[in-house]
């Protein structure tokens, strides 16, 4: 099993996708942070030393999860796209260990993504607060919870990506579904108050609960799951994704 | 016990019988040509044998055991199904190293087999820059990593230039006749195999039409080409489609 995980990790790190996605995640998070930093003190923006400002910048690292999802999807779909799945299953004809190794490798890559993206985002967020004359009030703002939750969200999203990829298998279709889900469907379900009863139970809603700082962006405070409940829900989605990947992969003909 | 035993394998795709009750054996130290027209069911038979496709009936055995029950399959059986089962963005050496990891072999095996198939200098290049012949050789290198006693190659001469085909013949000859490996090599191009194979298995429309030694088949003055046409063209029934994938 360790051997298979090592093989899967080598597959990820010997093509370009991982660092392109990491740079994309950093650019995306940097852009989001930059908008808040630039608008600080302007009309409609938060004052840089206010609690609202701190509540808006600390969770920004969590928006790298989309790119973690993409990496998770491609870990599986690239095997079908390039037909390397033939070789993979010739070397390991027992397919369940292969699926589990992919999930473990994806989780480790997600951990790396989360640590780098959330870490750098936190450095920028903290520096901008200090530069604006604010204080790093780590415990009251629940910053450790927000940051650790954001890293965990990256891990969960890469594993969920493995499930999505195994279910859909076609690379472009899987990516389109994943991106539409994260950018279109979930935001609507999580943000629109009438739909939040559904939205807070979705992966995106659960992640929101992990990084929520109670900032009101004008939509009213969101009613989210408690942090422990959100963690369970997210872990549940990851488990379902692995089960789905196993169920769709074990018996199917590879032709 | 035979190195490879295909036992009564049948497989239908969406109602179409791609393979219909095919049985044959391959012995150590021999090269067996697995011949048939395009779409005859060669690739499907090999995929069933190797556990990638689940046969409707029958089974494939290696020394009496199904592929998926072999404790270390890659060190017993080396198989190449398509030369294009490669990620274009990964270097040849890294491709082999991912296999070394999974097979529990030292990473140095990657360079050894690259050398063995004669593309050592291309190991660091991304596969996107490989010719078809280099991809064939890289795929073959992957099959050799575990130093297997059985080799199964599906259309290995595709994309090889005349020099490459000559190299492949000598390689197969060495593996079977010097090292005692059981070699099963499928082909639809008879000239490729005529000088190399000891035995032939011929299938047409999913059914076995002949198994025997090459000399038996061509002993009566008939060429392999003529015998092949006679054996594979007995019925004028519709040619099956979609069976080769």
Are the CB atoms for B132 and B181 separated by under 8 Å? Answer: no
Query: What whole-number distance in Å separates Cα of residue B35 and Cα of residue B32?
Result: 9
For A123-178, what is each residue's pLDDT tens digit?
Answer: 999 999 998 888 887 666 688 999 999 999 999 999 999 999 999 999 999 999 99
Q: Do A90 and B50 touch (CB under 8 A)?
A: yes
Q: How many CA atoms lie within 13 A of A167 on its CB side?
A: 16
- Give the one of B54, B70, B85 whose C-beta lies nearest to A83's C-beta: B85
* Structure tokens that stand for A174 in this block: 């899987």
Q: Do B87 and A84 touch (CB under 8 A)?
A: yes
pLDDT at position A2 is 93
The DSSP call for residue B126 is: B
Pick the residue of A3, A91, A101 with the most B CBs within 10 A to test the interface with B by mutation.
Answer: A91
Name the more confident of B147 and A40.
B147
pLDDT at position B227 is 86
Which helix (H) or strand (E) segment holds residue A37: the answer is: helix A17-39
The reply to whether B97 touches chain A by the CB within 8 Å rule is yes
Q: How many residues does chain B have?
A: 245
Axis crossing angle, helix A2-13 with helix A65-81, rounded to the nearest 10: 100
Are the CB atoms for A86 and B80 separated by under 8 Å? Answer: no
Are the CB atoms for A141 and A126 separated by under 8 Å? Answer: no
pLDDT at position A213 is 81
Are the CB atoms for B214 and B200 separated by under 8 Å? Answer: yes
Q: How many interface pairs between A and B have CB atoms less than 8 angstroms apart?
A: 87
> For chain B, which residues make up each domain, given as ranges?
4-83+149-232
Query: What whole-number distance in Å separates Cα of residue B141 and Cα of residue B137?
Result: 6
What parts of chain B have a pLDDT lower than 70?
Answer: 234-245
Question: Which residues between 50 and 79 in chain A have a beta carbon less than 8 angstroms from any beta carbon of chain B?
Answer: 78
Among chain A residues, the shortest Cα distance to B86 is held by A84
The reply to whether B150 touches chain A by the CB within 8 Å rule is no
Rg over CA atoms, chain A = 19
Are the CB atoms for A240 and A220 separated by under 8 Å? Answer: no
Q: Do B98 and A11 touch (CB under 8 A)?
A: yes
Are the CB atoms for A71 and A109 separated by under 8 Å? Answer: yes
Axis crossing angle, helix B92-103 with helix A2-13, rounded to the nearest 10: 170
- Residue B1: exposure state from Cβ atoms within 10 A (0-12, 13-18, ≥19): exposed
The reply to whether A255 touches chain B by the CB within 8 Å rule is yes
**Going edge to edge, which strands form the sheet with B199-204?**
B77-80, B150-154, B182-187, B31-35, B199-204, B207-213
Question: CA of A95, closest CA in chain B: separation in Å?
Answer: 9
Helix locations, B106-223, DSSP H: 108-116, 132-144, 162-173, 190-194, 214-218
| Site of tokens 């994806």 | A106
* Structure tokens that stand for B130 in this block: 């490989």
The reply to whether A87 touches chain B by the CB within 8 Å rule is yes
The DSSP call for residue B82 is: -
pLDDT at position B82 is 84
Which helix (H) or strand (E) segment holds residue B154: the answer is: strand B150-154
Q: Which of A196-210, A234-248, B197-211 has the lowest mean pLDDT?
A: A196-210
Are the CB atoms for A181 and A187 separated by under 8 Å? Answer: no
Residue numbers in B near A6 (CB within 8 A): 101-102
- Give the one of A6, A15, A86 whose C-beta lies nearest to B101's C-beta: A6
Q: Do A15 and B89 touch (CB under 8 A)?
A: yes
Question: CA of A253, closest CA in chain B: separation in Å?
Answer: 4
Q: Cβ of A227: how many Cβ atoms within 10 Å?
A: 17
Averaged confidence pLDDT in chain A: 90
Q: What angle do CA A142, A148, A152 make, to 5 degrees?
A: 140
Query: What whole-number distance in Å separates Cα of residue A75 and Cα of residue A18?
Result: 10
Question: CA of B43, closest CA in chain A: separation in Å?
Answer: 9
Which helix (H) or strand (E) segment holds residue B102: the answer is: helix B92-103
The DSSP call for residue B178 is: I
- Kindly state the percentage of chain A with pLDDT values over 90: 66
pLDDT at position B235 is 53
- Residue A97: exposure state from Cβ atoms within 10 A (0-12, 13-18, ≥19): middle
Q: Do A7 and B102 touch (CB under 8 A)?
A: yes
Q: What angle do CA A33, A35, A36 make, to 5 degrees?
A: 70
Q: Do B91 and A14 touch (CB under 8 A)?
A: yes
CATH superfamily of B4-83+149-232: P-loop containing nucleotide triphosphate hydrolases (3.40.50.300)
Beta strands in B46-115 (DSSP E): 57-62, 77-80
For B189-203, what is each residue's pLDDT tens digit?
Answer: 777 778 889 999 999
The DSSP call for residue A192 is: S
Name the more confident of A105 and A217.
A105
Are the CB atoms for B145 and B113 separated by under 8 Å? Answer: yes
Among chain A residues, the shortest Cα distance to B54 is held by A253
For B136-176, what is each residue's pLDDT tens digit?
Answer: 999 999 999 999 999 999 999 888 888 888 999 999 999 99
For A65-85, what is each residue's pLDDT tens digit?
Answer: 999 999 999 999 999 999 999
Query: What whole-number distance in Å separates Cα of residue B85 and Cα of residue A80?
Result: 9
């Amino acid at each position: 099993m360790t051997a298979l995980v090592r093989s899967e990790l080598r597959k990820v790190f010997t093509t370009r996708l991982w660092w392109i996605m990491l740079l994309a995640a950093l650019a995306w998070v940097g852009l989001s942070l930059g908008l808040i930093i630039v608008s600080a003190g302007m009309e409609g923006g938060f004052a840089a030393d206010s609690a609202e400002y701190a509540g808006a910048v600390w969770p920004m690292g969590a928006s790298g999860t989309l790119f973690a999802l993409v990496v998770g999807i491609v870990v599986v779909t690239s095997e079908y796209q390039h037909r390397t799945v033939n070789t993979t299953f010739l070397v390991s004809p027992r397919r369940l260990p292969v699926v589990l190794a992919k999930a473990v490798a994806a989780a480790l890559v997600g951990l790396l993504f989360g640590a780098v993206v959330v870490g750098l985002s936190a450095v920028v967020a903290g520096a901008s607060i200090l530069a604006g004359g604010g204080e790093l009030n780590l415990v009251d703002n629940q910053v450790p919870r927000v940051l650790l939750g954001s890293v965990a969200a990256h891990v969960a999203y890469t594993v969920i990506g493995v499930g999505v990829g195994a279910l859909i298998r076609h690379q472009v279709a899987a990516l389109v579904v994943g991106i539409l889900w994260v950018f279109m469907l979930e935001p609507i379900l999580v943000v629109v108050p009438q739909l939040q009863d559904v939205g807070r139970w979705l992966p995106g809603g659960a992640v929101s609960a992990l990084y929520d700082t109670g900032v009101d962006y004008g939509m009213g405070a969101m009613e989210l799951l408690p942090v422990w409940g959100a963690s369970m829900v997210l872990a549940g989605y990851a488990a379902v994704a692995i089960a789905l990947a196993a169920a769709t992969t074990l018996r199917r003909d590879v032709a | 016990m035979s190195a490879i035993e295909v036992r009564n394998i049948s497989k239908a795709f969406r109602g179409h019988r791609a393979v219909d009750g095919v049985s044959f054996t391959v012995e150590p130290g021999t090269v067996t040509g697995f011949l048939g027209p395009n779409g005859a069911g060669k690739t499907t038979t090999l995929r069933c044998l190797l556990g990638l496709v689940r046969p409707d009936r029958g089974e494939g055995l290696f020394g009496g055991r199904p592929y998926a029950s072999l404790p270390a399959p890659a060190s017993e059986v080396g198989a190449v199904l398509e030369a294009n089962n490669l990620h274009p963005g990964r270097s040849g050496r890294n491709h082999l190293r991912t296999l070394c990891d999974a097979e529990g072999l030292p990473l140095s095996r990657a360079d050894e087999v690259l050398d063995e198939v004669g593309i050592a200098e291309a190991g660091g290049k991304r596969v996107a820059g490989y010719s078809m012949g280099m991809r064939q050789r890289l795929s073959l290198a992957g099959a050799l990593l575990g130093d297997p006693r059985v080799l199964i190659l599906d259309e290995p001469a595709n994309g090889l230039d005349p020099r490459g085909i000559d190299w492949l013949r000598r390689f197969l000859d060495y593996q079977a006749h010097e090292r005692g490996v059981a070699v099963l090599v499928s082909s639809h191009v008879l000239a490729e195999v005529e000088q190399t194979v000891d035995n032939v298995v011929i299938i047409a429309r999913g059914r076995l039409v002949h198994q025997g030694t090459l000399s038996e088949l061509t002993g009566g003055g008939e060429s392999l080409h003529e015998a092949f046409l006679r054996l594979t063209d007995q019925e004028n029934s519709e040619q099956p489609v979609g069976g080769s994938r």
